[in-house]
Amino acid sequence: MKLIAELDNLADAFAAELAGVASAAEAESLRNVRLGRKGDLAALMNRLPELPAEERPAFGKAANAVKERLNRLLEDRLAAFRAEAEDASLSRFDPTLPGRMPERGSLHPITLVMEEICGILNNLGFETVYGPEVETDFHNFGALNFPDDHPARDMQDTLFIAEGIVMRTHTSPMQVRAMLERKKPPVAVIAPGKVYRRDYDLTHSPMFHQIEGLLVDENISLAHLRGVLTHFLREFFGADVKLRFRPSFFPFTEPSVEVDMSCLICRGSGRREDGKGGEDGCRVCKGTGWLEILGAGMVDPAVFAAVGFDPACAGFAFGLGVERVAMLKYGIDDLRMFFENDLRFLGQFVK
């Protein structure tokens, strides 16, 4: 049969050509020419209708056998090329060279600081609670005794999503939600999370992190607030840190205080790191020896009334910016470094 003879000739030619190829790419090219959809074997098989009906089964069987044989020869040749490439690669490998250690990741410094702060406060009995970053005006302002004309409600200070809906400006709304959920004292919660304000410079970011705390129970006084914050700050910054509580004002606490701590750089002396004073005092505390660290106070009765608590209840609240605490802890002078994702910076916190 003439077509079967042509199949045998094709197989012999393919085997001879395959023996002469010098690379896997040349072998693949030969596959396309001889065995591809438009190759020589396909062209022969397309001539099947030329044969008498009784000869077609024999030709089809022969064509399939040739195709299988040629594909097997091709795969053997490709395997030989792969083995040669692997041998060449191994010949360049020096097993005496030290291995490459995989790069290790780490938690972000802000996350590390938040976890440490929450851990200290959890040990004091505070429960960690989380909530939505998109808040209602009631939870973010109204229930916290912010008057309608308070500057924080202005468009230039707060990011509004819709009428009465804002990106939360602090995590205090979780204090409101916690009291609404529990309906009566005792309540002891801390609320860590992201907050949003229209601000951006060396020490401010439109998105940053806060941790706010609330304790409501019987016979709670300013002395309890002072004790909790003193313990927390000395656990976090060291037992030798000095603290002072200054009168201040917040809509949701009365009385309110600002808490200052002794400067970590000059150790409260107000002098430069070289020990000299004068006009060129410590840059961090501006020569005062003190750093403002957080705000706090006794919960205003108006807040208790807004959430259905007895206005005669007693409790305290406090809040701090995590970035500011992290800057002090790690000696960082530009808040934007926390958000630039510079691996040289973040790599310093790998544990």
Strand partners, 133: none
3-state secondary structure (DSSP) of residue 287: coil
pLDDT at 348: 86
The pLDDT confidence band at residue 98, using thresholds 50, 70 and 90, is confident
Comparing 129 with 43, the larger pLDDT belongs to 129
Comparing 348 with 320, the larger pLDDT belongs to 320
> How far apart, in whole angstroms, are the C-alpha atoms of residue 127 and residue 124?
9
> How far apart, in whole angstroms, are the C-alpha atoms of residue 232 and residue 116?
10
Burial of residue 131, with CB atoms counted within 10 A of its CB: 0-12 exposed, 13-18 middle, 19 or more buried: middle
pLDDT digits (tens, 9 = 90+) for 260-316: 998 877 777 777 655 544 456 777 777 888 888 999 999 999 999 999 998 888 999
pLDDT digits (tens, 9 = 90+) for 146-175: 887 776 666 557 888 888 899 999 999 999
CB contact set of 291 (below 8 Å; sequence gap of 6+): 260, 261, 262, 263, 264, 284, 285, 328
Across 34-48, 137-151, 203-217, least confident range:
34-48
3-state secondary structure (DSSP) of residue 312: coil
pLDDT at 155: 56
Q: Supply the pTM of this predicted model.
A: 0.66
Q: With a cut of 80, say whether residue 324 has pLDDT above it.
A: yes
pLDDT at 289: 85
pLDDT at 178: 95
